[in-house]
Structure 1
Amino acid sequence: MPLLKHQLKHLKTLTHNLKPVIMIGQNGVTDNILKELEIALDFHELVKIKIAGENKASCASVIEQLINTSSAETVQKIGKTLTLYRRNREKPKIELPKK
């Protein structure tokens, strides 16, 4: 289910205080990175990711790969920082506004 505008706005306010949980280096997206992303999304629901890369094209391809493999919603993309959200169905931590 896609997030509504007011829900995205709420998540963006929560994003400001977050530190990056996952750092993607020169090796790009590896299986270990994807496993860590799954664990982080299950535990935190809202995850900030820092991407090291020299050009925008490689950074954009990494972002696209992370979004597709994690089935998460993009909350924010600023430069080389990406924030993803995926609700934990069993134990949700973040209460999204209804209206």
Structure 2
Amino acid sequence: MLTSKQRAYLRGLANTMETIFQVGKGGVNDALIAQVDDALRVRELIKVRVLETSPESVKEVAQAVAACAKADVVQVIGSRFVLFRRNPKEPKIELI
């Protein structure tokens, strides 16, 4: 669980990041979860976009992906959300 200061710090880092995944009409599936899991292992912080064709809302998708990938939802804003999961072996982001 992230504190409010940690969440604010991660939001600042994610502000300049590019979106690397999109969730469309296929919704949340095993392939998406596997890709998100791999990306979180390498990057620790990722930004995902939910398209209008998605059958679920942005918050629902964010919670589902975070639960499956064992990550924390940092921010949900508009059609995008940010996920964070610390890499225990090689941490890249130092939290406050």
The separation in 1 between residues aligned to 2:87 and 2:15, in whole angstroms, is: 21
Give the letter for the 2:87 counterpart. N
Query: 1:58 matched to which residue of 2?
Result: 56
Shift of 1:54: 5.0
TM-score computed with the length of structure 1 as normaliser: 0.88
Query: 2:2 matched to which residue of 1?
Result: 3
Give the letter for the 1:6 counterpart. K
Tell me, yes or no, if structure 1 residue 96 matches structure 2 residue 56. no
- Computing the radius of gyration from Cα coordinates, the structure with the larger value is 1
The separation in 1 between residues aligned to 2:63 and 2:32, in whole angstroms, is: 14
- Asked whether the 8 Å contact 2:24–2:53 carries over to 1, the reply is no
Query: 2:69 matched to which residue of 1?
Result: 70
Percent identity for Structure 1 against Structure 2: 29
TM-score computed with the length of structure 2 as normaliser: 0.90
Gaps of 5+ in 2: none
* Structure 1 ranges of 4+ moved more than 3 A: none
Gaps of 5+ in 1: none
| Structure 2 counterparts to residues 9-88 of structure 1, below 5 A | 9-54=8-53, 58-59=56-57, 60-88=59-87
- Asked whether the 8 Å contact 2:24–2:52 carries over to 1, the reply is yes
The number of residues matched between the two structures is 95
The separation in 2 between residues aligned to 1:88 and 1:42, in whole angstroms, is: 6
